[in-house]
Amino acid sequence: MAIGRVGFIGLGIMGAPMAANLVKAGFHVAVWNRTPARMAPLLELGATPADSPAAVAAASEVTISCVTNSPDVEAVALGPRGIAEGAGPGHVYIDCSTISPETARDVARHLQERGIAMLDAPVSGGDVGARSGTLAIMVGGEAAAFASCIPVLQAMGKTIVHVGPSGAGQAVKLCNQVAGGLNLLAMAEAIALARAADVDPARMLEVVSAGAAGSWMLSNLAPRAVSGDFAPGFMVDLMQKDLRLVLDEAARSHTPLPGSALVNQLFQVVQAQGRGADGTQAIVDAVAWLAARPGS
């Protein structure tokens, strides 16, 4: 049976455009956000409001969340007035947050006891991908639940891959953050070297982005950094939360990740300057400060 009713919890930089794309795709969407004012733009598009995660789940066949961290997912799914209280057997809960694989497995186990399937489905592509519906979505959980939710996921993303059992989606997302963090560092160092050589960094980016060294970061975030635009597509504070998850998982498995540890420390510099709410492109200033050329 085709899914027609979808709930969405968490309407931040990523969640709001993801929910909007579900409405535009023709789903009946119920929404809830901890700050009610953020629901207004979705209601204007045709979504319906709910007063709790439980109410969202009760009005939906599939409930999606996109919240900040592991405790938030536990509260939304299992806490008072949470999804578990409103969803019945056969319901599917899709969490698009970035949390620890262990938390994803634990929440899935508790929900399974109630007949509720969970997919951990973190996303990549930033605010640009969220708005355009071209996110990469890495999904862990039961294959049958994944298959039933493909039309829902396709309304939000372009590359959608089932990567394994519960927790596998989160593990792949941590791999994504490792690669993304090191690409951010490469971007920052390239800009720093161009400026030190008295080369226009915008011209440098024009040619380097089109060659073998090109990356999403160079194409999308580097031009913002060069122009001094540090508005967040993804905040430094959130990237640091993800990198802590990365380093915790690496410690658990005794996997050395020296590059990721360095990126984490450079973002510490940005946070120490009170810029944790800036976009991750702010790493360019951390590298510049090492050369005593901030804002150059």
Active site residues: 173
Phi, psi dihedral angles at 29 (to 5 degrees): -115, 125
Give the contacts of 270 (CB within 8 A, at least 6 positions apart): 236, 276, 278, 282, 283, 285, 286
SS3 content of the chain, % helix, strand, coil (to 5): 55, 15, 30
User: What distance in Å separates the CA atoms of residue 108 and residue 116, rounded to the nearest whole number?
Assistant: 8
User: What distance in Å separates the CA atoms of residue 73 and residue 65, rounded to the nearest whole number?
Assistant: 8
Residue 147, number of CB atoms within 10 A of its CB: 9
Residue 185 Rama label (left phi>0; alpha psi -120 to 50; beta) = alpha
Question: How wide is the angle at C-alpha 187 spanned by C-alphas 182 and 188, nearest 5°?
Answer: 95
User: What distance in Å separates the CA atoms of residue 121 and residue 1, rounded to the nearest whole number?
Assistant: 22
User: What distance in Å separates the CA atoms of residue 5 and residue 85, rounded to the nearest whole number?
Assistant: 18
DSSP state of 255: -
CB 122 within 8 A of CB 112: no
CB 18 within 8 A of CB 66: yes
DSSP structure string for 181-224: HHHHHHHHHHHHHHHHTT--HHHHHHHHTTSTT--HHHHHTHHH
